[in-house]
Amino acid sequence: MNVTTPDSTSDLYASFVLGNYGTPACTLTRGEGVYVWDSEGRRLLDFGAGIAVTSIGHCHPHWVKAVQEQAATLVHCSNLYRHPGQGRLAQRLCGYAGPGKVLLCNSGAEANEAMLKLARLHGRAKTGEEGKCFKVLTAEKAFHGRTFGAMAATPQEKIQGGFRPMLDGFAHGVFNDLASFEALVDDSVAAILVEAIQGESGVNPATVEFLQGLRALCDKHGLLLMMDEVQCGIGRTGRFFGFEEAGIVPDAFSMAKGLGGGIPIGAVWMRDAHAPLFKPGSHGTTYGGNPLVCAAANAVLDVIESEDLLAQVTAQSKGWIKRLQELERKFPALVEEVRGRGYMVGVALKVDPMPVIQTLREKGMLAIPTGGQVIRLLPPLTATVEDLDRSVELLADALSNHLQA
């Protein structure tokens, strides 16, 4: 029997794992709270959170207990049958979102695919004909996933390049420019899909006026307003959903990432008025909403509620962002802007961020590059003031090193 040691993991990757993600930066062996450990035994402050996934940190005791107990009870149950966890999770998500129905699936991309189907079903119901009202408007620089429908909704060369022709039925306005969306509306448009904060293009928050304007535009023309909450939802901004900042309610929105706390899950909420458009077979998923992932997601919600994490993120993030913004003054040659909300922050640099991110990792912190020249910081919602302060110290140290290089 071959035993895989940490030292051989990189060789196994090089020999057998498809190079779809480039060369992984390091080998991680365990996690606890806001920290992970690599194969050399170094402790790293994880401010990427698995790209916003480990929302309550690594191996939270309540989450571990819930997953272990469920794993020993019933792991899988196809959607041919019911189990208590799925109904309970859907009820709790509706409690945050408002009256409606929830569809559970495997990922954010799959959740967005379900919303694209909803748009077409809405267009057919609106006109009484198939293929007449089907178009979805999305924003330039948006990111909605890498399945074919989601790619077509994502007008970025790095996503679409090499895979054209894209699916028909999409047009793209300018993010935070309401007039550009209004100019695209005609009888063929069924819905608008946007993110409250564009995560993959550099952490760009939508303005309140833009989101409120889209809501009014959709109401005026009978369009669905659909929000992609895959990255900015589940408490990341200090509100449970990112769109709450604008005081609006969409017709449908997607969730994923932080909902499972590390186990794959996607979800779509839609208003009661639109739920009947989905019939048995409109969408399908073998693993979506199984007992194990529902136990994990319910445990995530338990922790967010019992530890009052939304209030904690709101209170602590203001000082953290302010301290990060002081780096603009301290390193004017390197830092262009610090932007974002809650625990979803982008540090836009005037230089390539990769050397800084590498230095950060060497000094003991994980962060993620994103669109343009931006370092994305996505700490677990459980991060304390001390953790946040440490992240600022490490980033300042890495920037200082880069300045001296």
What is the domain-level CATH number for residue 316? 3.90.1150.10
Domain that holds residue 56: 9-60+308-404
| Residues 303 and 313 both lie in one domain | no
Instruction: Report pLDDT for 4.
Output: 53
**Annotation-wise, does 229 bind a ligand?**
yes
Query: pLDDT tens digits, the chain, 405 residues: what are they?
Result: 455 555 589 999 999 999 998 888 899 999 999 999 999 999 999 999 999 999 999 999 999 999 999 999 999 999 999 999 999 999 999 999 999 999 999 999 999 999 999 999 999 999 999 999 999 999 999 999 999 999 999 999 999 999 999 999 999 999 999 999 999 999 999 999 999 999 999 999 999 999 999 999 999 999 999 999 999 999 999 999 999 999 999 999 999 999 999 999 999 999 999 999 999 999 989 999 999 999 999 999 999 999 999 999 999 999 999 999 999 999 999 999 999 999 999 999 999 999 999 999 999 999 999 998 999 999 999 999 999 999 999 999 999 999 887
**Four-point Cα dihedral 106, 107, 108, 111, nearest 10:** -20
Give every CB contact of residue 208 below 8 A, 6+ residues apart in sequence: 245, 246, 247
Instruction: State which of 262, 287, 307 marks the end of a domain.
Output: 307
**Annotation-wise, does 46 bind a ligand?**
no
Residue 65 lies in a domain: no
Whose structure tokens read 């990341």? 236
**Annotation-wise, does 359 bind a ligand?**
no
| Residues 171 and 292 both lie in one domain | yes
Task: Give the CA angle between residues 352, 357, 358 to the nearest 5°.
Answer: 105
Q: Where are the beta strands (DSSP E) in 229-301?
A: 252-255, 266-271
Residue 67 lies in a domain: no
Cis peptide before 250 (omega within 30 of 0): no
**Helix or strand run (H / E) with residue 37:** strand 35-38
Instruction: Report pLDDT for 329.
Output: 97
| Residues 14 and 39 both lie in one domain | yes
Residue 129 lies in a domain: yes
Q: Tokens representing 160?
A: 């679409």
| Residues 358 and 219 both lie in one domain | no
Count CB-CB contacts under 10 A for residue 38: 17
| Residues 208 and 290 both lie in one domain | yes
| Residues 132 and 168 both lie in one domain | yes
| Residues 95 and 206 both lie in one domain | yes
Give the integer Cα–Cα distance in Å for 203 and 187: 32
Residue 266 lies in a domain: yes
Look up the pTM and report it.
0.96
| 156 within 8 A of 141, measured Cβ to Cβ | yes
| Residues 348 and 260 both lie in one domain | no
| Residues 336 and 225 both lie in one domain | no
**Annotation-wise, does 231 bind a ligand?**
yes
**What's the total number of domains in the chain?**
2
Q: Tokens representing 265?
A: 């899950």
Instruction: State which of 307, 338, 366 marks the end of a domain.
Output: 307
| Residues 343 and 272 both lie in one domain | no
Instruction: Report pLDDT for 7.
Output: 59
Active site residues: 143, 228, 257
Instruction: State which of 249, 281, 307 marks the end of a domain.
Output: 307
